[in-house]
Chains A and B, each alone.
Chain A
Amino acid sequence: MHISRIAPPAARDLTAVVLAGGAVLLLAAMAAGVLLGPARISPGGLGAVLADWLGLAPLPPEFRRDAAVLGVIRLPRVLMAALVGAGLGAAGAAMQGLFRNSLADPGLIGVSAGAALAAVAAIVFGATVFGVAAGALGLWMLPLAAFLGGLGATLLMARLGSIGGVTGVATLLLAGVAVNALAGALTGLLIFTADDRQVRDITFWTLGSLAGSRWEQVPVVAVLIGLPTLGLIALARPLDALLLGEAEAFHLGHRVEALKHLAVTLAAIAVAAGVAFTGLIGFVGLVVPHLLRLGFGSGHRLVLPGSALLGGALLVLADLAARSLAAPAELPVGVVTALLGAPFFLWLLRRKAAA
């Protein structure tokens, strides 16, 4: 069990070292994500584009393609991947701490299923029922619907899971299962009415992709994921206390009910915003906090910010692989995270069990 290793004072140095390492890893992954990909950029092209951005020299016309690839396609895409991955990692770590269950992931609080339901509704009815709204919102309609759907499902779950002002963790989990089942059934109903092309669109959406990342999305995601992620990291100390048990945390002076609601809400915002723009990306929220726990213990002051950094790095690298492996086509990034993550995770578990 991971409860046995809550950061002792001597572990502060370890925390600093691990977080610094995570930050370096994230920056290295982002650099790789910007510099590598199926559209090869020559060192000369990179130099010319950088010189243009820094205002040192105008861009020679033969490097216009390189400038578009770097500035219009890869930079926003890498930033989106880092933010979405950070949100998924931190939300996963917080949910595992809150439910005191290492199998918990953001999907458990209904956010993915709710977002999927709303996204499928937007795909199926987009052109007809929401005709006017679709015209005004354009490419923002699906993300907006998915964000509200994810958030709505989580709020519904939190409400159903709390009885008489007390939120039992088991009740909350079961409410999450029920909300997931309900959203899944409604999604199935919508898929029944969808035509062939819409079914294909739905399938691809549920596999996740960062191919639609554009600059105008970056500030929105930076706020909607960045702030809740920082908020979750700030909950490290009360989440550590919660690992000792709810009564113990209460006696240590933490308001356990408020903590639960805050953590669930922040995680739901961070995950819903990510899912809204990229579709469903599994495994990051489950595996990344696990890796850190297996390696460095369960202290949330390490696991929460570490999961954000490592989650961002992992998704940036997974997206680089998704872009490159099947070029000029592209693999769904959710497929890559699971394909790379699952075997590695199993290997790690077995090594840990043997040791």
Chain B
Amino acid sequence: MRRRALLGLAATLPLAARAAERRLVTVGGAVTETVFALGAGSQVAAVDSTSLFPAPVRALPQVGYLRSLAPEGLISLNPDLLLLSDEAGPPQAIAVLRAAGAPVALIPDGAGAAAVPRKILAIAQALGLEGRPLAEAVADDWARLDAPVAALRPVRAIFVLSAARGAPLVSGRGTHADALLGAVGAENVLRDFTGYRPLSAEAAALLAPEAIVMMQHALAEAGGVDAVLRTTALAVTPAAAARRVMAVDGAYALGFGPRAAHARRDLAALLHPRANLPSLPARPWV
């Protein structure tokens, strides 16, 4: 009897047991973060170089940069599932993976309020996990900021990708940075081009941004706030006069993964120090 009961229990186990033994390779920072937030982090066997959070991923084998994936290298990891951001490439390598019958799931990358739950649900579905609680929690946190952010006077801002050499590289429309600025009570003053472009001094003077947002590592590479504000293009801006340079963690603020709502609040608070923003509940994945 007892033995049969155990067998019965075992019959219900395989799904969970298989899930525990499953080997995942995750490519894309937000994809990796979401897998960990869904509680499947222990199954991740390798990640790409844009996956930097949470801390345990830094000890995992590296499959390289997400735009230069190696088909044989990925297959040599014996993955049960390759979870790739649809930013991953090159397309020829993805085609080779598919031809070789590797289990590939492409997750739509995207920025903004709607993209976050969509990403989480797609990943959960690929893993056969329930993703709604996580997607709803992040969407709720995000929505809690909608009214307070809408009430703020938008700060005229630019996002600087790098300022280490020559003209600073700044983000126009259609970038993750543009979506971020729009969500935190800022107005991206670079409206007339898409993607990233070098900013000329004249354009900077004309656009007169009040604040400069940068990624921490880019700010460090450029030599810190003083060095950035000395570059010809940025020195002429009101942002330089007020020394308003905000540093954000790139994966945190631009990934639009499960930490997106908290990143939104943090940057909004940096840009609007006197605003009364609601505090968000502490989430285990942040």
Contact = CB atoms under 8 A, between A and B. Distances in A.
Contact of B74 (A64, A194, A328): A328
B63 interface: yes
Interface in A198-238: 198, 200-201, 204, 209, 211-215
Contacts of B77: 328
Contact of A329 (B64, B87, B169): B64
A39 to B, nearest CB: 4
A204 B69 CA distance: 11
Given A72-B100, A329-B63, A209 B78 contact: no
Nearest to B49: A329
A38 B62 CA distance: 13
A64 B75 CA distance: 12
B68 A37 contact: no
A189 interface: no
A201 to B, nearest CB: 6
Contact of A64 (B65, B67, B87, B101): B101
Given A195-B194, A197-B87, A329-B62, A139 B95 contact: yes
A38 B96 contact: no
A65 interface: yes
A74 B70 CA distance: 12
A204 B67 contact: yes
Contacts of B68: 204, 209, 211, 329-330, 332
Contacts of A258: none
A39 B102 CA distance: 13
Given A40-B76, A64-B101, A139-B91, A328 B96 contact: no
Contacts of A65: 75, 78
A293 interface: no
B140 interface: no
B276 interface: no
A353 interface: no
A136 interface: no
Interface in B48-81: 61-65, 67-78
A195 B196 contact: yes
Interface residues of A, number: 34
B99 A72 contact: yes
Contacts of B73: 38, 323, 326-330
A68 interface: yes
Given A328-B63, A329-B64, A211 B71 contact: yes
Contact of A201 (B64, B89, B101): B89
Interface string A303-330: 0000000000000000000010011111
B161 interface: yes
B89 A73 contact: no
Interface of A: 37-40, 64-65, 68-69, 72-74, 139, 192, 194-198, 200-201, 204, 209, 211-215, 323, 326-330, 332
7 residue pairs, one from A and one from B, having the closest CB atoms = A212-B92, A329-B64, A195-B195, A330-B70, A328-B73, A39-B76, A38-B76
24 contacts: A38-B72, A69-B75, A69-B76, A72-B101, A73-B75, A73-B100, A139-B91, A195-B175, A196-B195, A197-B87, A200-B67, A201-B90, A209-B90, A211-B68, A211-B93, A214-B96, A214-B99, A326-B64, A328-B62, A329-B64, A329-B65, A329-B68, A330-B68, A330-B73
Given A68-B75, A214-B95, A330-B64, 17 more contacts: A38-B73, A39-B76, A73-B96, A139-B92, A192-B197, A196-B195, A200-B65, A201-B67, A211-B68, A211-B96, A212-B92, A327-B73, A328-B61, A328-B74, A329-B73, A330-B69, A330-B73
